[in-house]
Amino acid sequence: MPVEIIISQIFNGLSLSSILLMIALGLSITFGIMGVINFAHGEFLMIGAYTAFILQRFFHGQDSGYYFLLSLPLAFFVSAFIGLIVERSIIRFLYGRPFEGMLATWGLSLVLQQAARNIFGANNVEVSSPAWLNGGIEFIKGVQLPYNRLFIIAIAVICIIGMYIYIYTSSSGRRMRAVMQNRDMAACMGIKTRRVDSVTFAIGCGLAGIAGSVVSLLGSIGPSTGQNYIIDAFMVVVLGGVGNLSGTIAGAIMIGAVSPFFEFVTTSSMGKVIVFALVIAFLQWRPSGLFALKTRALD
């Protein structure tokens, strides 16, 4: 295989990893903290993507396209706000009931998709890339690294750094870790665990929203956009182990790097089968993920 193709495959893989990472971070922390697997998480990505779309309609005709930068924080806040409503109205009743949580959030994702279909139409819509993201750097001869993918990777890196700072240095992040490790003890120490839950869930949804707004750079978006990414994001969480950043990052890089490779070498359907088999094989070696929290508890 020529070097050019390998390099561009790795590069595409990295940008896929970045998107998966932003989705999986939210999934992982909400599962770690509340024991709820959020099947509607992909729909928060969709909400982010449609936020970028609406913003573009609003600023229609402005050539510079710098308004796209505005869509990132806006997507974060819109998704986070809707996430907050969902947490307050549905998720909070599902703590510690993971199976029911899965079914209920799956139902929520159906409702959100159908709502998107009714509001924006069943067809996919296009978010045009801003002019300053067209083109790319010529890395070596024959290999062009597109700016929009570089931009996605940069946004993911910024999000990770932001999350690191938030979780490990801020007092709010410290409360979050405390609740994750021992909810009852944290509550005894005066931490308002309910509020921590809400904030965590909202942040997770917000991250998915940012992912959604950058996904709109790669192609058209539609009501089922979230579904394209959610299963891979689940695989990232399973691989990485729940509730820690480094595991999620490692898992995202693995899935993102491996799946385009196999899809390229074989066919796209065969590639998915191989990746799934690899995940199961991997779990033989590390059943609770790469960086599982070390614990003496049995479960």
Partner 1 sequence: MDKKAYQFLKKNWPYIFAAIILILLPNLLSDFRLNLFGKFLTFAIVAIAIDLLWGYTGILSLGHGVFFSLGAYSMAMYLKLKSEELPDFMMWSGLTDLPWFWRPFKHFWVALPMAIIIPALLAIIIGFPTFRARIKGVYFSILTQALALVFSIFFIGQQPYTGGTNGMTNFQEIFGYSLSEASTMRGLYIITVIVLVAVFILSRWLISRKTGRVLVAIRDGENRLRFLGYDPSIFKIGIFALSAGLSGLAGALYVPQVGIISPSMMGILPSVEMAIWVAVGGRGTLNGAVIGAITVNGAKSYLSETFPDIWLYFLGALFIGVVLFFPAGVYGIFERFKGKKAEEKGVLSNRGETDYAAEK
For binding to partner 1 (CB under 8 A), which residues are involved?
31, 35, 37, 90, 93-94, 96-104, 106-111, 113-114, 118, 231, 234-235, 237-238, 267-270, 272-273, 276, 279-281, 283-284, 287, 298-299
Residue with tokens 């979050």: 176
The maximal CA–CA distance of the chain, rounded, in angstroms, is 62
| Nearest residue (CB) to partner 1, 210 versus 254 | 254
Q: What is the DSSP string of 145-161?
A: EEHHHHHHHHHHHHHHH
Long-range contacts, 71-76 (Cβ 8 Å, 24+): 71/213, 72/155, 72/210, 72/213, 72/214, 74/213, 75/47, 75/48, 75/49, 75/51, 75/206, 75/209, 75/210, 75/212, 75/213, 76/48, 76/206, 76/207, 76/209, 76/210
Cβ at position 212, least distance to partner 1 in Å: 20
How would you label 156-180 residue by residue, b for 16+ Cβ within 10 Å and e otherwise? beebbeebeeebeeeeebebbbbbb
Among candidate residues 184, 211, 213, the one with its CA nearest the CA of residue 21: 211
DSSP 8-class letter at 125 = B
Nearer to partner 1 among residue 145 and residue 290 (C-beta): 290
> Phi and psi dihedrals of 143, rounded to 5?
-115, 120
Question: Which of 122, 189 has the CB closer to partner 1?
Answer: 122
What are the structure tokens assigned to 241, written together? 């182990």
Shortest separation between residue 208's beta carbon and partner 1, angstroms: 17
CA angle (249 as vertex; 248, 251 as ends), nearest 5:
65
CB nearer partner 1, residue 118 or residue 170: 118
Q: Which is nearer to partner 1, 1 or 297 (CB)?
A: 297
Non-local (6+) Cβ contacts of 162 within 8 A are none
Q: By C-beta, is 171 or 284 nearer to partner 1?
A: 284
Q: Which is nearer to partner 1, 147 or 261 (CB)?
A: 261
The residue among 128 and 267 lying less far from partner 1, judged by its C-beta, is 267
Provide the minimum distance between the beta carbon of 298 and partner 1 in the complex, in angstroms, as a whole number: 5
Q: Tell me how far the alpha carbon of residue 116 is from its chain's centroid.
A: 19
Residue 121 contacts by C-beta under 8 Å, 6 or more apart in sequence?
Answer: none
Q: How far is the CB of 285 from partner 1 (least distance, A)?
A: 9
Six-digit token string for 171: 């007092």
